[in-house]
A and B are shown apart, each in its own frame.
Chain A
Amino acid sequence: MSNILEIRDISRSFHGRAVLQSIHLQVERGELFGLLGPSGSGKTTLIKLMTGMDRSDSGEIHILGEKVPKLSLLKRIGYMAQSDALYNELTARQNLQFFASLYGLSGARRNERIDAVLRVVDLLDHKDKTVAAYSGGMKRRLSLAISLLHEPELLILDEPTVGIDPVLRQSIWQELLALRDQGTTIILTTHVMDEADKCDRIGLIRDGHLTAVDSPAALKERSGTTTLEDAFIVLGGGVLA
């Protein structure tokens, strides 16, 4: 059993307000791990600490055996931000070419990977359209495609399906499950309960505290509830209506 991510006693506060308090977490290789919590609970802050965009006040994060932040580590991580960070003036292919070059891909290998990820997110027919002409769902898929370009060992996705219609969400989830089956570790955040149900394990996060970490079934059992939603409330210290 090897931990791909190890978070030890992480705390982070902004302007005197604690956003994350004493977080401990381990994620194993090959897992699909979900961070479930309402908006403002500290999910994105935790993600930013993992990618090294932000520095914690105390505690350590290790990814793939290396201490975060480390530049070379970013080559092995795929990241998809909550907002679609795309260059609207450029075509999908130009966006992919740009990010592929940043990950050190070039020549035939680069084109091969670009076609491969476009196929995965089903945008191959739209690759020469400018992103400005894309719908919200297409932009989301393109963002996902960019995070897959360099075949990362660890995929960190911040709300990957927010604002996407149910049909498309289904197809993205199929893709994520397929990636997991191929051995990619995936950490994602969500505030949708039925999505969390599909994860191998989930961490419930609320007001900066990680209140419980377990498989969806175990969490329901532990709290004596039948839905994850109820489990979330009970384990977070609330009372069911």
Chain B
Amino acid sequence: MRTRALALRIIRQFLRDKRTLALIFLAPLLILTLLNFIFNGQPITPNIGTVQLPAPIIERLNGTDANVTTYTNQEEAKQALEAGDLDAILSLADGKPDLILEGSDPSMNQAILLRLQKVMQASTPTIQPNITYLHGKEGMSSFDYFGPVLIGFFSFFFVFMIAGVSFLRERTTGTLERLLATPIRRSEVVGGYLLGFGIFTLLQATLITWFAIEVLGMYMVGNFGLVLLINLLLTLTALTLGTLLSSFASSEFQIIQFIPLVIVPQVFFSGLFNLDAMAPWLQKLSYIMPLYYGADAMRGIMIRGESIGDIQLDIYILLGFSIVFALLNIAALKKQRAI
């Protein structure tokens, strides 16, 4: 009953705080939409200059989605390259193709090399392999691959911040002390926070997931309910971690200081970036990052259509994180009241 009263109070406070509501519900949608535009936008069209190339090659190059400009001599083309009008110059030197890349943008370099390859291949007929996909589909964008991780990340990040600040404010305004002068148990305080915030995080998780899949058209072959479950578990971890860490902060500013320490490393280890290139012992750091498990499960469900059995380890670990953080939080409240 005290837990419920505390949860009800948190909900009432939330409903009066329109800005925080907007931050929880609208900010993740805005950022996801922007990311969608970035990763799902138009394919790159390189500007390639050619110098005295045979007409058939130019024609083939034109067919590979590139802006081709012909120059009469190398000098002119080089000037254009330096001026930034061109991304590459293709010419023939001693009968062999000669390519000069502008070179500062790796993804542009890749795109140009890919086109060049196509042009070369076309001159010698090859056997086309038959391609099938076990998971995913042809033309799947990077947004579809990052998406599941991003959904989990935003749920985690915003809940961490808001829960941390709310609990901190309860302490700095003296209401926590007042609260603890009532016969409420420390576990009921933590439980009330979990319940009150839990309801909002469930709504948030539902909205973000629905928006990403239905409105942004993120690739999704799995069970919607499972995505929600993982998202909820992830936000519970964020909630318990946020409130726990707020015990070690004395101002809102100090909560912000936790971002580079707690949030940013998790992003690196969450699977947004491929960790295979990292030293193996460093890779193991990901095992202590809640976001790693959440991201793994989200990707499994959304891209590979995994069932609850496939992701049960992730579920147990996320639950374990939440329970440990909540227990530590109950213990940390001893600082405020001896019993």
Q: Are B13 and A90 in contact (CB under 8 A)?
A: yes
Size of B's binding interface in residues, CB under 8 A: 27
Q: Is B12 an interface residue (CB 8 A)?
A: yes
Among residues 57 to 88 in chain A, which have CB atoms less than 8 Å away from a CB atom of chain B?
69-72, 74-75, 77, 79, 81, 83-87
Binds A, one of B178-186, B242-250, B253-261, B315-323: B178-186
Query: Does A54 interact with chain B (Cβ within 8 Å)?
Result: yes
Q: Given that A83-B174, A86-B175, A89-B13 are known contacts, is A102 also in contact with B183, CB under 8 Å in the complex?
A: yes
Q: Which of B8, B16, B181 contacts A89 (CB 8 A)?
A: B16
> Do A85 and B174 touch across chains, with their CB atoms under 8 A apart?
yes
CA gap between A103 and B183 in the complex, in Å: 7
**CB atoms of A53 and B337 under 8 A apart:** yes
Q: State which of B5, B177, B185 has its C-beta within 8 Å of the C-beta of A101.
A: B5
In the complex, A3 has a CB within 8 A of chain B: no
Quick check: is B9 within 8 A (CB to CB) of the other chain? yes
In angstroms, Cα B170 to Cα A89, docked, is 12
Residues of B within 8 A of A41 (CB): none
Which residues from chain A contact B40 at a C-beta distance below 8 Å? none
Is A173 among interface residues, defined by CB-CB distance under 8 A?
A: no
B82 at the interface (CB under 8 A from A): no
**A81 and B174: CB pair below 8 A?**
yes
Does A163 have its Cβ within 8 Å of any Cβ on chain B?
Answer: no
Chain B residue with the shortest CB-CB distance to A51: B181
* Nearest opposing residue in chain B for A150, CB measure: B182
CB B173 to nearest CB in A, in angstroms, measures 7
Residues on the A chain within 8 Å of B179, using CB: 85, 102
Interface residues of B (CB under 8 A from A): 1-2, 4-6, 8-9, 12-13, 16-17, 173-175, 177-185, 336-339
Q: List 16 A-B contacts (CB under 8 A).
A: A53-B177, A53-B180, A72-B183, A77-B181, A81-B181, A85-B173, A85-B178, A87-B13, A87-B175, A90-B16, A98-B5, A98-B9, A102-B2, A102-B184, A104-B2, A106-B1
CB within 8 Å of B: which A122-147 residues: 130, 146
A94 CB–B CB distance under 8 Å: yes
**In contact, A85 and B183 (Cβ under 8 angstroms):** no
* Known A85-B179, A87-B13; further 14 A-B contacts with Cβ < 8 A: A52-B337, A53-B180, A71-B183, A74-B181, A75-B183, A83-B173, A86-B175, A94-B9, A99-B182, A101-B2, A102-B2, A102-B5, A104-B2, A146-B178
Query: Of B13, B173, B178, B338, which one neighbours A69 at CB under 8 angstroms?
Result: B338
CB distance from A132 to the nearest CB of B (A): 9
Known: A52-B337, A87-B175. Is A79-B181 also a contact (CB below 8 A)? yes
Across the interface, do A81 and B183 meet the contact criterion of CB distance under 8 Å?
no
Chain A residue with the shortest CB-CB distance to B334: A55
| Interchain CB contact under 8 A, B17 and A81 | no
Contact of B1 among A52, A86, A89, A104 (CB under 8 A): A104
Q: B16: which of A52, A84, A85, A130 is its contact (CB, 8 Å)? A: A130
Q: Within 8 Å CB of B181, what residues of A?
A: 51, 53, 74, 77, 79, 81
